[in-house]
Amino acid sequence: MRKNSPQVPSPDFRGKEEYAWIAVGSIEQIALGQGRCFLIGARQIAIFRLRSGEVYALDAVCPHRGGPLAEGLVGRDTVVCPLHALKFSLKDGRGLDNDFTVRSYPVEMRDGNLFVGLPPRDQS
Ligand code: FES
């Protein structure tokens, strides 16, 4: 593995081989320690590039009142929504100080390019 190349987590996305892998482009589009919103299919998906090199993807719209999660404060493995400061896990989208859950997506790196996996039910 190349030095400083992004590490992609491998959370439990069952049936991942059936996902449609959508190319997003170079990891360099996302500043270290920040998120960026991408339109992927019909979804707004926030992709977060951590300073540790890990990359995560969540729905970009906060389930509380629609805040832009890609603009949230990124921690070691959390994001804080910029509107009302609810905190979510980047690993699985679980609310850490609330009962909401943000949908999470698998991410893969291939030759420096990001791919986000959309589950079969989102492909039509
Ligand atoms: S809209 Fe995200 S915390 Fe309220």
State which ligand 1 atom lies nearest to the alpha carbon of 81: 2
Averaged pLDDT, 13-18? 69
pTM, two decimal places? 0.86
Assign domain 23-113 one CATH number from 3.30.930.10, 2.102.10.10, 2.160.10.10, 2.60.200.20. Answer: 2.102.10.10
**Which residue puts its alpha carbon closest to atom 4 of ligand 1?**
84
Is any ligand 1 atom within 6 A of the Cβ of residue 102?
no
6 contacts 27 by C-beta, under 8 angstroms: yes
- Ligand 1 center to residue 63 CA distance, Å? 7
Predicted confidence at residue 51, as pLDDT, reads 93
Residue 119, pLDDT score: 84
Band (2; pLDDT cuts 50, 70, 90): very low
Domain ranges of the chain: 23-113
Ligand 1 within 6 A of CB of 51? no
Residues in CB range of 121: below 8 A, 6 or more apart: none
